Structure 1
Amino acid sequence: WFSVVDVCEVLTDSVDAGAYWRKLKQRLKEEGSEVVTFCHGLKLESSDDKRYITDCSNTEGIFRIIQSIPSPKAEPFKRWLAKVGYERVQEIENPEIATKRTRMLYKLKGYSDDWIEKRMRGIAIREELTDEWQKRGANEQKDYEILTAEISKAIFGITPSEYKKVKGLKRENLRDHMDDFELIFTMLGERSTTEIHKTENSGGVSKLTQDAKRGGRIAGIAKEQLEKEIGRPVVSKNNFLPKKKNVKKLK
């Protein structure tokens, strides 16, 4: 969440950002804009060390508000949002563009070509699975989360949220921090689940959940066999987070 007043202060250089936001909010309401519906009052600490109810907004809401601020400092953000929107339209019209951009981003982050190939294949398998879920009765985000958690538990013995804790992750994408084996067994579990759905023509969240457990277990058994052979667990606390630099303190 972001403080709307703080954003207004940075982008407008207003001597009274609070008054600026109140005036802007009133104008938006009069125009019938839905931007203000993205705002929620949260208690934030002020310069006097006291906590006050402050208008805050999530990322989407802040972007909407920035677009409503008539200030030269807001223009770079508006141009960037327009560029991102245009790129998204391109990706919808030609999905291959999205794939190329994703590959490029992973390359820029320092991932190996071999890892990128596995990750991209995993993305394709995941998309095929979620398409099946949507067609077969899992229409809400919470359904996807439940089904994904069942597959993960059957493979690795832990849910994705627990997995992120093992790797020391917060908002990062878990799969972007998996090694080769972790990606491979995730793909096997999800691809197996997809095939079970198709073979049995499954429908409804209850049946899909049963399939998810079975598909995940197929990968889980393979993982356990590998662990016996190599003598170590597949689940690793390793991640691809940037290494923290050790700062030497002056004595």
Structure 2
Amino acid sequence: MQSPNEIKLFEEKKVRTLWSEDKEEWYFSVIDIIESLTESSIPKRYWSDLKKKLLKEGSQLYEKIVQLKFKASDGKRYATDCLETQDVFRLIQSIPSPKAEPFKLWLAQVANERLNEMQDPELTIDRALEQYLNLGYSENWINQRLKSIEIRKELTDEWKRLGLKEGQQFASLTDIITKTWSGKTTKEYKTLKGLKKENLRDNMTNTELILNMLAEASTKDISQAVNPKNFTESATVAKRGGTIAGNARKELEQQTGKKVVTNLNAKTFLEDKKKLL
């Protein structure tokens, strides 16, 4: 499992990174590193020549290269060569640059920040809080969103305990929960809100977030109580958890006469908020 791409800055140069939760390791875009160190106008050519040299020398570094997809300036994602942190240190030794030492210090700092966050989850929450505030979200919504992250983590930890597979099985179970409580699949829900690659939970209202949390928390609690033996049984549990939140949604809609699941998304909400200022 990999976290979304992040942009790190080294002396105002962008370096694309990706955190692998499975390996607990950063991956860095090699092209970005070369551009930061050499200020080459054609970093791709520099890297192409260096790869040939490494291959010729029989360097083990060449075998460590992995390709991961990063978002380019045109908004599309393209595969690019990447290296883990320890291999980036080796790469730097092959690139003559006066910035080598400062870059090594920066690299160590980036790695250390993540390790600190892993040891102290509050640092991760503080960083997320700051990011949401900068985007213009209200503190009340942010508190709900951060709580939803905690509840989601508890649910996925439960699925991992049961031996379920990340990816398709997690996505299928999530879809069952979402469909059961909201009346829409995740895809239908995102379509209603006019979303494409955006995170659905980042575009939920407070009430939507609360009901989604209720559905996921209920699913986790029921799963721990009945201990499903396989994916099929877990799917039944997901439906039971979603039903609890679904019933709450229907009761609320009956009491208020308003739909809970709406087309309101973060972009339109924040734009309307700015107009009022």
TM-score band by shorter chain is 0.7 to 0.9
* Partner SS, residue 61 of structure 1: strand
2:275 alignment counterpart: none
Bigger Cα displacement from structure 2, 202-211 vs 30-39? 30-39
Figure out how many residues of one structure are paired with residues of the other and give that number.
227
Counterpart pick for 2:67 among 29, 38, 46: 38
Shift in Å at residue 84 of structure 1? Answer: 3.2
Superposed displacement of residue 7, structure 1: 5.5
Bigger relative contact order (CA 8 A; separation at least 6): 1
2-structure distance, mates of 1:200, 1:206: 13
Q: Secondary structure of 2:266's partner?
A: coil
Q: 1:208 aligns with which of 217, 231, 234?
A: 234
After the TM superposition, which of the residue ranges 124-133 and 228-237 deviates more from structure 2? 228-237
Q: Does the CA contact (< 8 Å) of 2:207 and 2:260 recur in 1?
A: yes
The structure with the greater share of residues assigned to strand is: 2
Aligned to 1:219: 245
Corresponding position: 1:194 with 2:243: no
C-alpha displacement of 1:136: 1.2
| Structure-2 residue corresponding to 1:150 | 176
Per the TM alignment, residue 160 of structure 1 is displaced from its structure 2 partner at its CA by 2.1
Is the 8 Å Cα contact of residues 182 and 235 (structure 1) preserved in structure 2?
A: yes
Equivalents in 1 of 2:33, 2:143: separation in Å?
43
Identity of aligned residues (%): 40
Q: Against the structure 1 CA distance between its residues 39 and 135, is the aligned structure 2 distance closer, same or farther, given a 3 Å change threshold?
A: closer
Match of 2:143 among 114, 117, 126: 117
Gap regions ≥5 residues in structure 2: 6-15, 17-28, 70-77, 273-277
In structure 2, the residue matched to 1:140 is 166
Return closer, same or farther for 1:194/1:13 CA change in 2, 3 Å cut-off. closer
Question: 1:229 — aligned with what?
Answer: 255
Out of 78-87 and 97-106, give the one that drifted further.
78-87
- For 1:46, the equivalent position in structure 2 comes to none
Match of 2:266 in 1: 240
1:129–1:194 Cα contact (<8 Å) kept: yes
The 2-side partners of 1:36 and 1:190 are apart by 38
Structure 1 gaps, min length 5? 41-55, 245-251
> 2:103, 2:187 → 1: CA distance?
32
Distance in 2 of aligned mates of 1:136 and 1:121: 23
Query: Structure 1 residues 15 and 104, CA, compared in 2 at 3 Å: closer, same or farther?
Result: closer
Residue 43 of structure 1 is matched in structure 2 by none
Please tell me whether the aligned partners of residues 66 and 83 of structure 2 are also in contact (alpha carbons under 8 angstroms). Answer: no
Q: What SS does the aligned partner of 1:38 have? A: strand
The equivalent of 2:82 in structure 1 is: 61
Change (3 A) 1:163 1:24: farther
TM-score (norm 2): 0.68
Structure 1 residues 72, 157: closer, same or farther in 2, change over 3 A?
farther
Task: State the Cα distance separating 1:142 from its structure 2 match.
Answer: 1.9
Q: CA deviation at 1:128?
A: 1.2
- What amino acid is the match of 2:150? A
**Root mean square deviation, CA, Å:** 3.4
Contact 1:28 1:35 in 2 (8 A): no
Query: Aligned-pair distance for 1:182?
Result: 0.6
Report the Cα offset of residue 154 of structure 1. Answer: 0.5
